[in-house]
Chains A and B, each alone.
Chain A
Amino acid sequence: MHVHDLNPKKTLVVVILFVMIIIAGFFTLKQPRFKYKLSLEQSLKMLNDEEACFHPWQLADVLSKVNSNVVLVDLRDNFTYSRGHIPGAENISAYDLTDDKYFDHLKELYSKGVTVVLYGKDRLQANGPWMWFRQLGFDNIKVLLGGYDYYKEHKADLSKSKEDKSYILGKPDYNYSEMAKPVNSSASVTKKNKKKTPVIRRKKRTTTASGGC
């Protein structure tokens, strides 16, 4: 008493079709052109890597050809570049970085072990692209601290900037709380409250987190 078709031939056909779709899926799976090599945690750690930065005083060696293992890359656009740049720097506008021509060139430099120093107008302009390349695994790429603006100001004597720390960012220039101090006494009460609020709020937020929704 077999009420069902016992022959699984059609089943086999369907399952093989299913497998073929999956295999087709693997073939159509595009290998992305760029891939992060560093995880987010590694990327965050990299930011504190002193080796990843290039100081202006190090430029002196490059310019006097003592250190020939360094290629400078100017990320500003062609027009700005043509109006003045660090001698010997190549110009790859930030917009062209992913062009095959330039990207392959950078890859080649990477495989040769040449240090590439990115710079823009200031450090900020080159900082993003530098982080991007680092996350993609280009650990030969460094960022020029201070950028072109600092270089231009100090190009007469770069080695002197070893003592000058003004190009290193990420430090407060002022004593904020002193500067932003309220003017009269009545406001100083407000100020105190104001100072407390963030602390309270942070706690508030964390309690709601554990409470769930």
Chain B
Amino acid sequence: MKKEKLHNTPHYINPYLGGVLLGLLVIITVYITGRGLGASGAIKSAVVTTADAIYPEGARENPYYSRFISDGHSPMYNWLVFESLGIFFGGLLSGIIFGRVKKFRVEHSPKITSKTRLIVALLGGILFGIGSQFGRGCSSGAALSGSATFSLGGVIVMLLLFGTGYAIAWMFKKLWI
């Protein structure tokens, strides 16, 4: 029993260690590139590329897509896309080192089924996707890098993102505990 418990306990690094290293990474990123980290931009590039491939005329007319489409190169040829690829491989690397890479599985609270969890995750993704476009960035781009560079918008996003989470947490208690 005890052995199994140990086996199921993931070996995560100390959260403060992760935080300090992440902070240093933000500094290094700003030092090298002059801007912070980001993640949702890659998906945006993917969306734009897909739309451009499916119906080029419509996409070019759309005032949102057209901001990111240029004739010179594909929108996928973008800093954030490469960075996001890096995030994926970095996660893989860490997962291999700490032994967390396993076959596909769903993680959920014992009170809900896997199916529920997957539907909710999809819904959450949709909302996050819409919100990140209004917010000019997601939690890493706007909230983390934005706040670290003292941007007003970054701080607003950070406070409201977590604030909303706390305000509505009671509604979705079943999903998590």
Contacts and interface: CB of A to CB of B under 8 A. Distances in A.
A5 interface: yes
Contacts of B14: 4-8, 10-11
A15 interface: yes
A187 interface: no
Which of B10, B17, B24 has the most chain A CB atoms inside 10 A of its CB? B17
A18 interface: yes
Interface string A1-20: 11111111011001100100
Contact of B24 (A2, A4, A10, A18): A18
B20 interface: yes
A14 B12 contact: no
Nearest to B10: A3
Given A14-B21, A18-B24, A8 B16 contact: yes
A14 B20 contact: yes
Interface string B3-47: 000000111111111001100100000000000000000000000
Interface string A124-148: 0000000000000000000000000
Contacts of A2: 9
Interface string A74-114: 00000000000000000000000000000000000000000
B22 to A, nearest CB: 11
What band does the interface of chain B fall in when counting residues whose beta carbon is under 8 Å from A?
A: 10 to 19
Contacts of A3: 9-10, 12
Contacts of B13: 4-5, 10
Contacts of A7: 14
Contact of A11 (B11, B12, B16): B16
A6 B12 CA distance: 9
Contacts of B20: 11, 14-15, 18
Nearest to B15: A4
A5 B12 CA distance: 6
Nearest to A5: B14
A196 B155 CA distance: 49
A114 B17 CA distance: 61
A1 B8 CA distance: 11
A23 to B, nearest CB: 16
Which of B9, B14, B15, B21 has the most chain A CB atoms inside 10 A of its CB? B14
Nearest to A13: B17
Contacts of A8: 14, 16-17
Which of B10, B16, B24 has the most chain A CB atoms inside 10 A of its CB? B16
A15 B11 CA distance: 21
A6 B17 CA distance: 10
Interface of B: 9-17, 20-21, 24
